[in-house]
Amino acid sequence: MDWKKLSTRKIRSVYKCLFLNRCYLCHASSPHTLCHYCQKGLPNNNRHCCQCKRPTHSPNILCGQCQTSAPAYHTCIAPYRFEGIIKTLIHSIKFNQGNHYIRPLTDLLGEHVIASYNTGNWPDQIIYVPSHASRIKERGFCQTQKMAHLLVKKLQQQANIQCPTLPKNNPLKKSKNTQAQHTLSRKERLRNPQNSYYIDGAIAKHVALFDDIMTTGSTIESCTKQLLDAGAERVDIWLIARTPDKEQQG
Ligand SMILES: [Zn+2]
Ligand SMILES: [Zn+2]
């Protein structure tokens, strides 16, 4: 074979066939990052509070927490419940170096985000909730930063949308090393993250705030208030998953 005649395009297409056009979970042949069958097994967040997307038993109701105190953000996108395959994948990224699962998750979220803004009115800027420096050092990377980068790449592939910009330096910073959320009780979690974020950088009028999961909502609420204080007029929340309340889990 004359290797000089083999174009990069051909090499890329062979590589794609062999390694890329496969489901990230079961490795079955698939044009998408997850095959049809794996997508069907995802825990969709179909029944939820219409404001904060907390999983509920009935669809489109206003949960008790939102009735008592409406969240500061404008809207929330959370397509999955934090359970089943989604929980396994996110845990694997956080604790078992499963970085290759970031792409299928951000691809899925990207599709939901695109569908949610089908009438336009896209945010101007994407900001992510950062991990603390010591935890980034422990893991070797900040998973929300990686996810936000891949999410923007996914959105940029769509020619018909005005993709929000991802600032080079994320203007939302974490100031102190709060204890890892999963080690705390609900009561402690509600108390713990207050005032541990601050803004250092320019904030657009319409911001999308990205995090991988939302549990009590206290971190997102605190960050939203910081963004509003710093000049944002509207904050939309973009999440991969929302944690169901204890009685909803199973
Ligand atoms: Zn599959
Ligand atoms: Zn709610």
pTM of the model: 0.84
Q: What's the gap in Å between 32 CA and the centre of ligand 1?
A: 9
Q: What's the gap in Å between 64 CA and the centre of ligand 2?
A: 7
Strands 125-128, 206-214: pairing is parallel
pLDDT on residue 201: 95
Ligand at shortest distance from the CA of 23: 1
Ligand at shortest distance from the CA of 39: 1
Q: What's the gap in Å between 54 CA and the centre of ligand 2?
A: 6
Q: What's the gap in Å between 102 CA and the centre of ligand 2?
A: 27
Q: What's the gap in Å between 63 CA and the centre of ligand 2?
A: 4
CB neighbour list of residue 78: distance below 8 Å, 6 or more residues apart: 45, 48, 53, 214, 237, 239, 240, 241, 242
Q: What's the gap in Å between 214 CA and the centre of ligand 2?
A: 12
Task: Name beta bridge partners: 58.
Answer: none
DSSP string for 78-92: --EESSHHHHHHHHH
Q: Mean pLDDT lowest for which of 7-11, 96-100, 166-170?
A: 7-11
Among candidate residues 239, 221, 238, 218, the one with its CA nearest the CA of residue 86: 239
Dihedrals φ, ψ of 35, to 5°? -70, 170
Q: What's the gap in Å between 39 CA and the centre of ligand 1?
A: 7
Kindly tell me the sign of the dihedral angle through the C-alpha atoms of 199, 210, 100, 93.
positive
Q: What is the mean pLDDT of residues 82-100?
A: 89
Cβ–Cβ < 8 Å for 112, 153: no
pLDDT one-digit tens code per residue, 196-225: 899 999 999 999 999 999 999 999 999 999
Q: What's the gap in Å between 235 CA and the centre of ligand 2?
A: 16
Cβ–Cβ < 8 Å for 77, 236: yes
Domain map of the chain by residue range? 10-41, 45-177+187-248
Q: Is the pLDDT of residue 244 over 80?
A: yes
Q: What's the gap in Å between 113 CA and the centre of ligand 1?
A: 22
User: Structure tokens of 9?
Assistant: 């395009």
Go through 46-75 and write b for each residue having 16 or more CB atoms within 10 A of its CB, e for each that does not.
eebbebbbbbbeeeebebebbeeeebebbe
CATH, range 45-177+187-248: 3.40.50
Q: Which residues have a beta carbon within 5 Å of ligand 2, which is an ion?
A: 49, 51-52, 54, 63, 66
Ligand at shortest distance from the CA of 76: 2
- Which class for 89: exposed (0-12), middle (13-18), buried (19 or more C-beta within 10 A)? buried
Q: What is the mean pLDDT of residues 62-75?
A: 94
pLDDT one-digit tens code per residue, 108-122: 999 999 999 988 899
Ligand at shortest distance from the CA of 70: 2
DSSP string for 44-84: B--SBBTTT--B-SSTTB--HHHHHS--SSSEEE--EESSH
| Residue whose pair of structure tokens reads 């250092």 in the numeric block | 200
Maximum alpha-carbon separation in the chain: 72
